[in-house]
């Protein structure tokens, strides 16, 4: 809980209006804690005597779980931006995506105004939201050029060097033929070298979006591993665990 509170404070300091990780954490606490909360309610409702340690744990849990429910509900909404930022967003018709909550972005609820307007009349350019800064060419082109231009410069230098070497080799071959001699360099007959390979566009795109690609790959890999591991977990039942814990492992 201390770590979550620190993350909430840090997110607020850095201007984050929502956090998917924190929201999912509260959802996990809400879902996984429901069976234990129900079990404590059952024991309390039946007037079952509890030991001192169990009584303290029961009281703490009955206080903690409602807080989790409230937090999970509150994280369905984003923190409001400052007033002047909201006014600029409305004035320039900026996309509300970055001001929306994690649940809002997940369900694309922020996009609803555009289909509603489109149902009433033909959409015009003024009806559309502006692109987010990270999706604009003014942001992406400098990132692309920072990777592409140095690669092209090295490619052009190697190509020019190769052309010069090929020209020199061709001239020496022509001279040797005219003189009736066979000229070799370091014991190897002079040959024209192969062409220089151009820089890879795909590799530069990977470097440009490497964090997004690696994150998506890691999530997909974890999902596939869990799908393959699920049949093996179905064979086992840990008797020392509660029923809901076994169900969670097997689901």
Task: Return d(Cα 11, Cα 6) in angstroms, integer.
Answer: 9
8 Å CB contact between 129 and 94: yes
3-state SS class at 194: coil
8 Å CB contact between 109 and 146: no
Percent of the chain with pLDDT over 90: 28
Percent of the chain with pLDDT over 70: 77
Identify the pLDDT of residue 203. Answer: 94
Residue of 50 and 183 predicted with greater confidence = 50
Res 179 pLDDT > 70? no
Q: Left if phi > 0, otherwise alpha if psi is -120 to 50, otherwise beta: which for 237?
A: beta
Residue of 250 and 89 predicted with greater confidence = 89
* Cβ neighbours around 102 below 10 Å, total: 19
Identify the pLDDT of residue 183. Answer: 46
| Mean pLDDT across 195-207 | 90
Res 96 pLDDT > 90? no
Task: Return d(Cα 236, Cα 31) in angstroms, integer.
Answer: 23
Residue of 192 and 64 predicted with greater confidence = 64
Res 193 pLDDT > 60? no
Q: How far, CA to CA in Å, does 220 sit from each of 214, 225, 229? A: 10, 9, 14
Q: How far, CA to CA in Å, does 188 sit from each of 140, 163, 183, 185, 217? A: 48, 20, 9, 5, 48
Highest mean pLDDT among 4-13, 29-38, 80-89: 29-38
3-state SS class at 189: strand
Cross-strand pairs, 184? 189
Identify the pLDDT of residue 54. Answer: 79
Res 67 pLDDT > 80? yes
Average model confidence (pLDDT) across the chain: 81
Confidence of residue 41 (pLDDT cuts 50, 70, 90): confident
pTM of the model: 0.62
Identify the pLDDT of residue 187. Answer: 43
Res 189 pLDDT > 50? no
- CA-closest candidate to residue 193, choices 225, 172, 165, 220: 165
**How are beta strands 184-185 and 188-189 bridged, if at all?**
antiparallel
Q: How do residues 114-133 score in pLDDT, each as one tens digit?
A: 999 999 988 888 888 888 88
Q: How do residues 205-233 score in pLDDT, each as one tens digit?
A: 999 999 999 999 999 999 888 788 777 76
Identify the pLDDT of residue 50. Answer: 67
| Mean pLDDT across 22-48 | 87
Residue of 133 and 238 predicted with greater confidence = 133
Residue of 189 and 115 predicted with greater confidence = 115
Q: How do residues 159-169 score in pLDDT, each as one tens digit?
A: 888 887 767 66
Q: What is the DSSP string of 137-168?
A: HHHHHHHHHHHHHHHHHHHHHHHHHHHHHHHH
């Amino acid at each position: 809980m201390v770590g979550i509170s620190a993350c909430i404070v840090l997110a607020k300091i850095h201007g984050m209006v929502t956090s998917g990780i924190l929201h999912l954490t509260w959802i996990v606490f809400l879902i996984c804690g429901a069976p234990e909360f129900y079990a404590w309610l059952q024991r309390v409702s039946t007037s079952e005597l509890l030991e001192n340690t169990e009584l303290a744990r029961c009281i703490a849990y009955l206080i903690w779980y409602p807080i989790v429910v409230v937090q999970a509900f509150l994280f369905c909404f984003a923190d409001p931006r400052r007033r002047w930022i909201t006014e600029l967003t409305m004035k320039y018709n900026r996309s509300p995506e970055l001001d929306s909550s994690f649940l809002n972005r997940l369900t694309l609820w922020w996009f609803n105004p555009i289909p509603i307007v489109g149902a009433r009349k033909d959409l015009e350019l003024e009806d559309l939201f502006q692109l987010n800064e990270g999706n604009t060419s003014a942001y992406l082109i400098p990132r692309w050029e920072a990777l592409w231009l140095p690669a092209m410069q090295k490619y052009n230098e190697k190509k020019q060097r190769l052309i010069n070497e090929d020209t020199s080799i061709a001239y020496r071959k022509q001279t040797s033929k005219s003189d009736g001699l066979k000229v070799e360099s370091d014991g190897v007959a002079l040959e024209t070298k192969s062409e220089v390979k151009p820089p890879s566009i795909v590799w530069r795109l990977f470097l440009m979006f490497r964090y997004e690609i690696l994150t998506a790959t890691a999530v997909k890999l974890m999902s596939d591993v869990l799908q393959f591991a699920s049949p093996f977990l179905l064979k086992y039942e840990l008797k020392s665990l509660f029923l809901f814990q076994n169900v969670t492992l097997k689901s």
